[in-house]
Amino acid sequence: MAVNGSKKKKSGQGIPGPTNPMVTPMLTDQYQFTMAYAYWKAGKHQERAVFDLYFRKNPFGGEYTVFAGLEECVRFVANYKLNEEDIDYIKNNLSVSCEDGFLDYLRRIDCSDVEVYAIPEGSVVFPKVPLLRIEGPIAVVQLLETPFVNLINFASLVSTNAARHRFVAGKTKTLLEFGLRRAQGPDGGVGASKYSYIGGFDATSNVAAGMLFGIPLRGTHSHAFVSSFMNLDEIKDKSLRKKDGSSTCKDFVSLVQSWLRKIERSNSLHGNFAETNQSELAAFTSYALAFPHNFLALVDTYDVMRSGIPNFCAVALALSDLGYKAIGIRLDSGDLAYLSCEVRKLFCSIEKEFGLPGFGKMSITASNDLNEETLDALNKQGHEIDAYGIGTYLVTCYAQAALGVVFKLVEINNKPRIKISEAVSKVTIPCKKRIYRLYGKDGYALVDILTGENEPSPKVGERILCRHPFEESKRAYVVPRKVEELLRCYCAGSSDKKEEILPPLKDIRERCIKQLEQMRSDHMRRLNPTPYKVSVSAKLYDFIHFLWLNEAPVGELR
Ligand SMILES: Nc1ncnc2c1ncn2[C@@H]1O[C@H](COP(=O)(O)OP(=O)(O)OP(=O)(O)O)[C@@H](O)[C@H]1O
Ligand SMILES: O=P(O)(O)OC[C@H]1O[C@H](OP(=O)(O)OP(=O)(O)O)[C@H](O)[C@@H]1O
Ligand SMILES: O=C(O)c1cccnc1
Ligand SMILES: [Mg+2]
């Protein structure tokens, strides 16, 4: 903050602003401005404060969380500036009034004096561990609390939700995020697409998210497309060029119809054939004419096995005559396990009967109110689904509405601070800290340890006492095979620290996938997972409890 005319390096130059233009310094709670005023009035506003941002409990009954939202925080800090309209609003509309001198102060502030240290985005993280440590003039850092918590809360929640869906679905399945229509407003939708991708989804149907973040776009078609057709006569241009361009089939519709008749008589259907719905056949044929290279049909508008599947096969076989390979089908209702198995059997049988290599392997996509539980149930029953389209439960984080992210003062003017609570889980861990992840002999992460900033770092091969921050009896020695320091510098402020480069989204996603793969399976399982240990050094433990006793008044019994 270039307030005293002192010469300060401006960090973060060239970093674009937040993705959502609504993310401005005004996107904060009024009490941040009123506290900033009171700090200013007390002449305290420049005092150097350290805040930790962390959460207290993993979401969804799990024992891990995927950290996301960091890039948006860095973009926010790098471009922090109130404009005249903002100042004018503050002047006239806060529920309390502030002197003009404060407004001048607000006019001049930026975040060039703010240092942000963070765990890299996409990392697997645990309760109580600071995801970010923010240092700077207390009035300024205070103003960052609400936007930072806002930017990280939903991002981390939805990334974790996506990672959990990926975990149940399995590595080999394609996961498509279909939630935009059901998301909590436009930012909820765009954010959910971005952070589901980080958590391990493969693509989104959300075009804006594709454009903004380079997430692959995928999609099928809806029931409306199928039911909009009445009959095959609606198809005017019936011609389709062969894939190799050698000739053109003048009447693709007739080719489809002739295949439908063959299927009708085929052994594959075991004589189980009724009249298929002709409007559905018209819709599929039309779709194939529009996308002969990418034909995928939604087969449940009328009757999956009696109409959708035979119609789809007729079109796919006709395409195959012209050298095209159909992609597959989407099921959006009914018993997805049963239907997928029936469909697969039929595809395989047609492959055999008509000698069409690959037909049996066509892709089966399932959708319809899917969530972790339904994916798990499908796995238990056995199914033939290759891809899932997931919307509502994923993007709204239906199973848990918020991650309890908090932003707490841990030091001011180099003096550690603590917040005491009746609930031990709410007592803060004071001091400017460092965080290390210690790995064991089989390569798995064993424990995260928080130490004071100036303590020597844990060394590979050295025995370290790791203590539970609040429970005296819980402690263990660890001899790490690998030590990883977690907090890195993303905004150097006026220090001479080297700033991390913000990685592209796909690198963040890869980090997340890799870290989750390296987690011990007992931390990952859905039922009664083992908590991952978060500890403090012996020195920090002693200091926490010294400060706790120091700050807590001694009660008096009467
Ligand atoms: N084999 C299965 N095991 C467990 N859950 C399933 C299975 N197949 C589908 N489901 C789930 O069961 C629910 C079925 O919902 P619902 O009864 O509203 O749909 P439907 O009757 O199949 O479809 P629609 O009403 O759209 O025609 C969905 O949440 C779906 O994901
Ligand atoms: O079920 P979700 O996980 O939210 O996934 C997205 C859903 O959105 C679409 O239909 P929509 O729900 O609009 O209509 P439908 O329920 O009648 O299929 C699609 O067919 C999916 O069913
Ligand atoms: O492309 C799809 O199939 C799709 C997209 C959004 C919602 N439901 C389905
Ligand atoms: Mg639905």
Question: Same domain for 89 and 57?
Answer: yes
**What ligand has the least distance to the C-alpha of 375?**
1
CA distance linking residue 394 with residue 164, whole number of Å: 10
**From CA 408, how far away is CA 49, in angstroms rounded?**
10
Mean pLDDT of the chain: 95
Q: How confident is the model at residue 25 (pLDDT cuts 50, 70, 90)?
A: very high
Residues 6+ away with beta carbon under 8 Å from 102: 36, 37, 40, 41
319-331 exposure pattern, b = at least 16 Cβ within 10 A, e = fewer: bbebebbbbbbbb
Ligand 4 center to 203 CA (angstroms): 19
Give the DSSP per-residue string, 450-509: EEETTSPPP-TTS-EEEE-SS-TT-EEEE--SEEEE--EEEE-TTS-PPPPPPPPHHHHH
DSSP readout, 44-104? -TTSEEEEEEEESS-STT-S-EE---HHHHHHHHHT----HHHHHHHHHHSSS---HHHHH
Give CB contacts under 8 A, 24+ apart, made by 273-277.
273/306, 273/310, 274/306, 274/307, 276/306, 276/307, 276/310, 276/311, 276/314, 277/301, 277/302, 277/303, 277/307, 277/311
Indicate whether residue 85 lines ligand 2 (CB < 6 A).
no
Interval 148-170: pLDDT, tens:
999 999 999 999 999 999 999 99
Model confidence at 12, in pLDDT bands (50, 70, 90)? low
Same-domain check for residues 114 and 225: no
- Whether residues 368 and 250 fall in one domain: yes
The Cα–Cα gap between 338 and 161 comes to 26
Residue with CA closest to ligand 2 atom 15: 368
* 332 CA from centroid of ligand 1 (Å): 8
Residue to mutate (ligand 3; options 176, 182, 205; most atoms within 8 A of CB): 205
96-150 pLDDT tens trace? 999 999 999 999 999 999 999 999 999 999 999 999 999 999 999 999 999 999 9
User: Which among 416, 439, 338, 443 is positioned nearest to 383, based on CA atoms?
Assistant: 338
| Half-sphere exposure (Cβ direction) of 168: Cα atoms closer than 13 Å | 21
Q: Which residue is closest in CA terms to ligand 2's atom 5?
A: 391
Same domain, 224 and 373: yes
Nearest C-alpha to atom 5 of ligand 3 is from which residue? Answer: 178
Domain boundary among 347, 362, 385: 385
Q: Is the CB of 148 under 6 A from ligand 2?
A: no
Do 369 and 480 lie in one domain? The reply is no
Among 340, 358, 385, residue at a domain's last position:
385
Which residue of 303, 341, 369, 392 sits with most ligand 1 atoms within 8 Å of its CB, as the best mutation to test the pocket? Answer: 369
Tokens of residue 265, six digits: 């008589």
How many angstroms is it from 369 CA to the middle of ligand 2? 7
Which residue, 368, 386, 371, 389, is CA-closest to 177?
389
ipTM above 0.90, yes or no: yes
Output the six-digit token pair for 347: 């595809």
Please calculate the CA angle 48-52-54 and round it to the nearest 5 degrees: 165
Check: CB of residue 32 under 8 Å from CB of residue 80: no
Closest-lying ligand 3 atom to the alpha carbon of residue 218: 1
Q: Quick one: angle between helices 505-517 and 138-169, nearest 10? A: 60
d(CA 207, CA 8): 41
For residue 124, being part of any structural domain is answered with yes
| Distance between CA atoms of residues 539 and 184, nearest Å | 45
How many Å lie between the centroid of ligand 4 and the Cα of residue 78?
A: 41
User: pLDDT band at 434, cuts 50/70/90?
Assistant: very high
Report the domain count for the chain.
2
Write phi, then psi, for 500 (nearest 5 degrees).
-70, 145
> What pLDDT score does 267 carry?
81
Whether 112 is in a domain gets the answer: yes
Q: Are 317 and 338 in contact (CB under 8 A)?
A: no
Closest CA to 367 of 394, 342, 346, 347: 394
* pLDDT interval class at 61 (50, 70, 90): very high
CATH number of the domain where residue 295 is located: 3.20.20
Q: Are residues 344 and 445 in the same domain?
A: no
Nearest CA to ligand 1 atom 19: 333
Average pLDDT over residues 459-485: 97
Per-residue pLDDT band at 266 (split at 50, 70, 90): confident
Q: Separation of 164 CA from ligand 1 center, angstroms?
A: 20
410-426 confidence digits (pLDDT tens) = 999 999 999 999 898 89
> What tokens does 474 get?
């819980």
Compute the distance between CA of residue 165 and CA of residue 168 in angstroms, rounded to an integer.
Answer: 5
Is 422 in the same domain as 376? no
Give CA–CA dist 436/429, Å, rounded: 15
Q: Is residue 171 part of a domain?
A: no
Within a domain: residue 207? no
Count of residues making up the chain = 558
Range of the domain at 357: 220-385
Residue 505 placed within a domain = yes
In a domain, 168, yes or no: no
CA dihedral 226, 229, 234, 240 (to 10 degrees): 0
Percent of the chain at pLDDT > 70 equals: 97
Examine the domain organization and report whether 515 and 492 are in the same domain.
yes
At residue 555 the predicted structure's pLDDT band, cuts being 50, 70 and 90, is confident
Q: In 278-388, which residue ranges form alpha helices assigned H by DSSP?
A: 278-290, 309-321, 336-354, 372-381
Among 351, 385, 419, identify where a domain stops. 385
Considering the domain architecture, whether residues 37 and 111 belong to the same structural domain is answered as yes
Q: Report CA(329)–ligand 3 centroid distance (Å).
A: 13
Residues 301 and 252 in one domain: yes
Q: Indicate if 359 and 411 belong to the same structural domain.
A: no
Residue 391 lies in a domain: no
Alpha carbon 451 to chain centroid, angstroms? 29
Q: Atom 20 (ligand 2): residue with closest C-alpha?
A: 332
- Encode pLDDT of 29-56 as tens digits: 999 999 999 999 999 999 999 999 999 9
Please say if the pLDDT value at position 1 is more than 50: no
Given a cut of 70, is residue 292 above it in pLDDT?
yes
pTM of the shown model: 0.96
Question: Does the residue 81 lie in any domain?
Answer: yes
Cα–Cα distance between 509 and 503 in angstroms, integer?
A: 10
What pLDDT is stored for residue 271 in this prediction?
Answer: 65
- Kindly identify the ligand whose nearest atom is closest to the C-alpha of 332: 2
- Give the number of whichever ligand sits closest to the CA of residue 367: 2
Residues within a 6 A CB radius of ligand 3: 178, 205, 219-220, 389, 391
CATH number of the CATH domain containing 128: 3.20.140.10
Instruction: Mark whether 257 and 144 lie in a shared domain.
Output: no
